[in-house]
Amino acid sequence: MSQTQQESHNHLEGTVTAILFRNEENGYTVLRLDTPNRGEVTVVGCMPGVAPGETLELEGSWGRHASYGEQFKAEAIYRRMPVGEKAIYEYLASGAVKGIRMGLARQIVDKFGAQALEIIENAPEELAQIRGVSLKRARTISEGFRAQMGMRNLAEFLTQHQLPLAAAMPLYQRFGDLAVEMVQNNPYLLADRGLDIPFSKVDQLAIELGVAGDDPQRVETALLFELEHNADNGHVFLPQDKLLAATGALIGVEGECLDTGLEALIQRGEVVREGIAGVTACYLAGLYGAECYVAMRLSEMCTMELTPPHNLDQLLEDIQRRQGITYAQQQRDAVELAASRQVMLLTGGPGTGKTTSLRGVLALFDHLGLETALAAPTGRAAKRMSETCGQDAYTIHRLLETKMDPYTGQLAFTKNQDDPLGVDAVIVDETSMVDMSLMSALLAAMRGDCRLVLVGDPDQLPSVGPGNVLDHLLRSHVVPGVALTEIFRQAQESAIVMNAHGVNQGVMPDLTNHSKDFFCMKRGDAVRTVDTIVELCQRRLPQNMGIAPSQIQVLSPTRRREAGTAALNRALQQALNPAQEGKGERAFGPYIFREGDRVMQVKNNYDLFWENPETGEKDLGVFNGDIGEILQVDAGGVTVSFDGRLVAYPPELLGELEPAYAVTVHKSQGSEYRAVILALQDVPSTLLARGVLYTAITRAKELFILVGSPELLEKMVKNDRQTRRYSALRTRLIQGTKE
C-alpha cells in the first residue's frame, strides 16, 4: 500500500461505473469508481441516490477487507452532474434515471443536447415530443429525476455541514424534496432521536444558519434534549430548577427565555410538570404516562386478594413430593402468598432459594389451571429461566411482540390494552433490569385479572433505562412480597456466594483464603493486568481447570482506560481468534469483526430478522446485551449466532455490534457464566461502588477471579453510595393505596 493509501483520511475522485449493492432504507452503497490515477476502485459508505455516470469527490479512508481486498470508506461526498452531451448521454444510458435506457437516452440528447437534464427536471411536457413517450410517462420520468435531485441536494447539504450522511434517507422519507428547506427553516428537526445526530452538531448548524441564541426553537429543543439525555442516565423526571440550570449551561442562555420555552413545551403536551415527592418535577410526556400507569395498575392489583384453594397445605405437600424437596419456611411463605395475591415480589440474593421458590409458584399455578408466561429482560436471562423452570421463557420484548411504529419510528408493542396477552399469570425474573417504560408496557398487556410475580435481587445494579422500579416497589412497602434471606448449606460452601453476601454487607473478602472458586491475583499496573487476563483465558483456565475460553467472561467496570473493555477486547481477540488466511473479517469503525469472534448487540433493533434452523423458529428483534458468535463474514456483511438464532447483519448495521470477549459489568446484568474474570485497574471513582462489585461477583457460577488492585476492591466494598434516580413511583404507589 502506498503512502497515500496509508493516510487515515484521503481524497478520491472519479466516475461511478457500477452499483454493486445498495440498501434503499438507509443509503448504504457499495460501488465501483473509475479514478484517473488508480483505475477502478471499490467504494463503500452511505451514498444515497448515487447512480452510474456521476462524478464523485469523496473524503474518507482506505482499508482492506480480508476477502475483497482494498476498499475506500467514504465519509463525505461531493457530487457533480455530467456536463456536455457525451457525458449526459452516458449518464442517462446507464439507467441512472428510472424509465430511461440507451435508446431513449440517445433520442433525448439528440433533441435537447446539453439542456437535456434541465428539460427532464423542469419541463417534462417537452419530453412528450419524442415519439413513444406519452405525457404520463414523461411526468413519471421527471418525478423520479427530481426525487434523485432532492436526495442529492440533501446529501450535499449534510456533507457541507459535516453531518452524518446516514440521516439523508430518513430525512428524505419524511420530507421528500422539501427536506433541505425544512432543515434550513428549523435545523432542530435534526435533533430527532431516530437520526442519531449529537445535539452539539445540530446546535452548531443552527448557529451557522443564523439562529439566535435565545430562539424559542433552540431553547425548547435543548430542554427536550436535557430530559432525554437524563432519561438515558436513568432519571424518569428532572426537578424544574435542575432542568433549567442544565439547559442554560448547555446553550449559554439564562433568564426568561428558559421559562418561556418550558411553558411552551408544557402547553403542547410534550412535557408534563407536577409537584410530587417534594419537588416540581418535569417529565417527558411518555415517561409521565408510564410512571402514572405503573403506579395505578400495581396499586389496583395490590388491593386484590384472591381466595386460595381450600386444600392448599395438601397441595404444597404434593408439590414438594413431586419436586423431591422440602421447602424452608420463607420458600413456603412465597408459594402461599402467590396463592392469595394478584401481584407479589420474590426477592433474594444468590444461594437463598429463589429458583426453588419460583418453581413452586409455577407448580401451584399449573395445579390451579392457570396458563403462565415466563419472561425476563434479556435473552440470556430468559434462557436460564427456561432451563431452571423446565418451561419456555421469553424476553419481555418478544412476549409483547415488539414492532416499530411506521409513523413515529418509535418502539411499539402488538400486545397492549386492545390486544392483551392470552395468559392468566406472568412471572418476570431479573426485575431489577426492567425500566419504567417496559414495566408500563407489560402491565398494559395484562388482562385485569392476570396475576404477576416479580422476581429479582434488590442489590443488583438498576436498569439501564429510566427508573429504579424494583427498588421503588420494595421501598413503598405496598406490594406484598417475600424476601429470601437464608443462605442454604450447599450455597454456604461457595466462596462466590458467601463473598457476594459479605460484600453486600460491607465486608471485605478474605483474599488470603485460597478457595476453589474465588481468587484474587494482584497486579500493579494495567499492562500486567491485561496480560494476566489474556494468559488466564488462553492457557491457564482451559488447561488447568478445563474451562474453555467460550465459557469465560471478562468484565470491567469501565469501557475506557488501559484495562477497560476496549483494550481487553483487542488483546483477547488477538490471543483467542487471530487473523489467518481463509478466515473472513471486516473492518468497521474501530473494530475488526472476524469469523469466530464473540460479539454483543448494543442497541435494541426490532426489525432484525432471525431464524433458528434447528427448531424452525423465525421472528424479529435482537436486543441490547445479546451475546453471540460470528459464524460468517462476506460481502453482504456478517452472520451471527445468538444461541442458535441466526442473524444476518448487512454492512450498514455493523455499528450495532461490539466485541464481547470483555464487557462492562452493567452490560453483564441478567447473564450467568461458568467463569468470570474482573479487571480492576485504573477505574473511574464513580464506578468504584459496592453494587458494581456485587453484580460482577454474582455473574459467576463456578469461578470468580479478580485481577488487579486489592486497594480498589476495598474502595468498592466500602462505597455503598447509590446514585439517586429521579422517579416518583414510590410516592405514587403509597398515594394510590390510600385513595
The mean of the pLDDT values for the chain is 90
Residues present in the chain in total: 739
Per-residue pLDDT of 708-724, as tens digits, reads 999 999 999 999 887 78
Cα 588 from chain centroid?
A: 18
pLDDT value of residue 8: 39
What does the pLDDT look like over 391-443, one tens digit per residue?
999 999 989 987 766 555 566 889 999 999 999 999 999 999 999 999 999 99
Averaged pLDDT, 59-86 = 79
SS (H, E, C) 394-450: EEHHHHCCEEECCCCCCEEECCCCCCCCCCCEEEECCHHHCCHHHHHHHHHCCCCCC
d(C-alpha 159, C-alpha 194), whole Å: 19
pTM: 0.85
Per-residue confidence (pLDDT) for residue 417, from 0 to 100: 94
Instruction: Write out pLDDT tens, residues 285-335.
Output: 999 999 999 999 999 999 988 999 989 999 999 999 999 999 999 999 999
Phi, psi for 688 (deg, rounded to 5): -85, 70
Q: How many angstroms separate the first and last alpha carbons of the chain?
A: 75
pLDDT in tens, 486-537: 988 777 889 999 999 999 999 999 888 777 899 999 999 999 999 999 999 9
**Residue 433: burial class (beta carbons within 10 Å; 0-12, 13-18, 19+):** buried
211 has pLDDT over 80 = yes
Residue 388 CA to residue 376 CA, distance in Å, equals 13
Amino acid letter, 199: F
Q: How far apart are CA 633 and CA 29, in angstroms?
A: 17
pLDDT (tens digit per residue) in 325-379: 999 999 999 999 999 999 999 999 999 999 999 999 999 999 999 999 999 998 8
Report, as an integer, the average pLDDT of 623-639.
87
The pLDDT of residue 713 is 95
Cα 423 versus chain centre, distance:
28
Angle at 604 between CA 385 and CA 620, to 5 degrees: 75
Inform me whether the pLDDT recorded for 65 exceeds 70: no
Give the span between the Cα atoms of 684 and 309, in whole angstroms: 54
Which whole number is the average pLDDT over 629-652? 88
Average pLDDT in the 96-107 region? 87
Residues 673-710 have pLDDT tens digits of 999 999 999 899 989 999 999 999 999 999 999 999 99
Say how far apart CA 488 and CA 357 lie, in whole Å: 13
Residue 706: predicted pLDDT: 96
pLDDT of 406 reads 53
